[in-house]
Amino acid sequence: MMKKYFFIAISCVFYGCSNHSNNQNKGIEYYFESGNIQYDLNNFSKAIDFYSLAYIQDSSNTILEYRIGFCYGKLDKYKESILYFNKSIMHKYRIGDSYYNIGICYVCLFNDSIALQFFEKALVELPKEQYIISEINDCKLRLQLKSKSNVSI
């Protein structure tokens, strides 16, 4: 009877240790795919958790930088989003889209003058994209309205 309990106890210890080891050794592919699943489900906070675990293993992964930036933007964490989109630009991944997304972040932060600069950079990278032209026009209009409202009588 004592041998049976000893065997069960040893099995639990080994199973627990091997299970813990498996969790620690999950590769970048596992975290990236898990992040993608959460991303597709619009669970952006959980996606960031998985992407961040992958990013720890590969901090030069430009796709992760872009995805993390996008997720932060969806969570209204615009400063964090801008940080990751800038990394994406620095590593030359989806430059035009990253400029555009930074512009969107600045619009959400109510800073149309900086947003306009990023939209114009995006348009250089992605010429003739109507959605970028539309954002540029909207920023210019808001800036004009703001300057007119600041005129004192």
Q: So where are the chain's domains?
A: 29-93, 95-153
Q: What pLDDT band is residue 25 in, cutting at 50, 70 and 90?
A: low
Helices (H) and strands (E) in the chain, counts: 8, 0
CA angle 142, 143, 149 (to 5 degrees): 90
Contact 116, 139 (CB under 8 A): yes
Contact 144, 112 (CB under 8 A): no
Count of beta carbons in the 10 Å neighbourhood of residue 119: 27
Count of beta carbons in the 10 Å neighbourhood of residue 17: 10
pTM for this model (two decimals)? 0.81
Domain 29-93 maps to which CATH number in 3.30.70.580, 1.10.10.10, 1.25.40.10, 3.40.630.30?
Answer: 1.25.40.10
Contact 134, 115 (CB under 8 A): no
What integer best gives the mean pLDDT of the chain?
87
pLDDT of residue 150: 75
pLDDT of residue 151: 62
